[in-house]
A and B are shown apart, each in its own frame.
Chain A
Amino acid sequence: MIVPLDIIIFLVLIIAAVLAINVKDLLAAVALLAGYSLFASLLFAGVNAVDVSLVEAALGAGLTGVLFIGAILATSRHSTAKRNLRRRWTMLPLIAAFIGLMLFASTGLPDRGDPEAPAHQGVSRTYLSQSLEDTETPNVVTSLLADYRSQDTLGETLVIVTAALAAMLVLVRREGDDEDDTRGSDPGGDTSGEARGTTDDEQESGRDPYADEREGGRR
């Protein structure tokens, strides 16, 4: 843990979060959220929490951004929130009071990495001392997640698979599901891929799809 770096990364995290909220273009917000994930990953790495850091860097910075862009493709790119001045001026003091309350409460927390902290009493000592002996696994995080608390992991995996199933249930459209088809694709089984306007054949045959427009613009 390096104190000045921690301070800087905390500041950068706050800046990135505020920017991601303020930016009207949702694509920039997606990019900023990916950057936010990277900085959070740096923060976790700074306190030697490498497992969390890797998951944050992998899922937050790489994968969820693409899924966000897919969602933007299906909906709209610009956020159209109206500014409500009255709500803003009532929310600001409330948020400030909440932050003050949290800061005040955090003074009673134990220090980071304090071995006498309440979280480090009880079973965690057993896990730390018994892990290598019980499971031959040097990485305590893995043995905790997949052995001691594997039912939690089972539940988490179930949540992810359920999310995929729910996405399929909501978004997959069959032929003749409904009439108001806003995405403009042809619901016709195998032909729908061609009807959606992708021109792979042109790409593969080496023809530049923009050649016509360039010619038209420069003739």
Chain B
Amino acid sequence: MSPYLITVLVIVGVLIAVGLYRVWAGPTVFDRLIAVALVSVNGVIVLVVLGFVLERPVLFLDIALGYALLAFLLPIALGRYFEERDDGTSRDGLPSPSSRPRPTGVVPHGLLAERGRREAERRRARADTDAPSYPHPEDDPDDEEHSPEDEGQP
């Protein structure tokens, strides 16, 4: 029971709890998924260090090895879900994201500048016609209320 390793354990535990803030606040579902995937890595560290603290490293390393092997499957399956279908539609029935116009801030280089030009023109056209826009699939109206405002956009 080395006190140093116990301190490490407690710190990593606190970091897990802090990392769950991103799961709570993440504006889109991808923020949550990636935050969970990265919090899980801390879980592996806790498992291994716990084995050293309790002085039975072999048993705990078995668990950690199993978890490190298995935790690979869930993100792959989640990514599989979000990869588009091949006929150009996404799973939500909306047009495929890569054929959907991308509203981006202007990145002033080369080809992207053209895209920004088109974006400006489209914005003007939209201001004229006030066409209804289809909702983004990740924009959950219920998530808006506890998302931190605008994520440090200047």
Q: Do B32 and A28 touch across chains, with their CB atoms under 8 A apart? A: yes
Q: In the assembled complex, which residues on chain A have CB atoms less than 8 Å from the CB atom of B43?
A: 35, 38-39, 41-42
Given A25-B29, A27-B29, A54-B66, decide whether A61 and B74 contact each other with a Cβ distance below 8 A.
yes
A1-45: CB near B (< 8 Å → 1, else 0) gives 010110011011001100100011101101110110011011001
B95 to chain A, nearest CB (A): 10
Given A27-B81, A31-B78, A34-B40, decide whether A197 and B87 contact each other with a Cβ distance below 8 A.
yes
Range of interface residues on B (Cβ < 8 Å): 35 or more
Q: In the assembled complex, which residues on chain A have CB atoms less than 8 Å from the CB atom of B133?
A: none
Q: Do A61 and B36 touch across chains, with their CB atoms under 8 A apart? A: no
A51 to chain B, nearest CB (A): 9
Q: Do A42 and B50 touch across chains, with their CB atoms under 8 A apart? A: yes
Q: Do A50 and B23 touch across chains, with their CB atoms under 8 A apart? A: no
For window 71-91 of B, CB contacts with A under 8 Å fall at: 71, 73-74, 77-78, 81, 84-88, 91
A142 to chain B, nearest CB (A): 13
Q: In the assembled complex, which residues on chain A have CB atoms less than 8 Å from the CB atom of B36?
A: 28, 31-32, 34-35
B9-26: CB near A (< 8 Å → 1, else 0) gives 110011011001001100
Given A12-B17, A15-B17, A216-B99, decide whether A31 and B33 contact each other with a Cβ distance below 8 A.
yes
Q: Do A66 and B91 touch across chains, with their CB atoms under 8 A apart? A: no
A89 at the interface (CB under 8 A from B): no
B121 at the interface (CB under 8 A from A): no
Q: Do B99 and A69 touch across chains, with their CB atoms under 8 A apart? A: no
Q: In the assembled complex, which residues on chain B have CB atoms less than 8 Å from the CB atom of A199?
A: 86
Please report the total number of A residues contacting B with Cβ < 8 Å: 52
B127 at the interface (CB under 8 A from A): no
Inter-chain CA distance A73–B32, complex, in Å, is: 19
Q: Do B70 and A63 touch across chains, with their CB atoms under 8 A apart? A: yes
A11 to chain B, nearest CB (A): 6
A53 at the interface (CB under 8 A from B): yes
Q: Do B14 and A8 touch across chains, with their CB atoms under 8 A apart? A: yes
B67 at the interface (CB under 8 A from A): yes
Q: Do A2 and B32 touch across chains, with their CB atoms under 8 A apart? A: no
B128 at the interface (CB under 8 A from A): no
A193 at the interface (CB under 8 A from B): no
Inter-chain CA distance A42–B60, complex, in Å, is: 10
Nearest-neighbor residue (CB-CB) of B73 within chain A: A62
A213 at the interface (CB under 8 A from B): yes
Inter-chain CA distance A73–B80, complex, in Å, is: 11
B44-57: CB near A (< 8 Å → 1, else 0) gives 00110011011010
Nearest-neighbor residue (CB-CB) of A39 within chain B: B43
Q: Do B86 and A8 touch across chains, with their CB atoms under 8 A apart? A: no
Residues of A within 8 A of B (CB): 2, 4-5, 8-9, 11-12, 15-16, 19, 23-25, 27-28, 30-32, 34-35, 38-39, 41-42, 45-46, 48, 50, 53-54, 57-58, 61-63, 65-66, 69, 72-73, 77-78, 197, 199, 202, 209-210, 213-214, 216-218
Given pairs A4-B6, A31-B74, A57-B63, 6 additional interface contacts (CB within 8 A): A31-B33, A54-B66, A197-B87, A210-B84, A214-B98, A218-B115
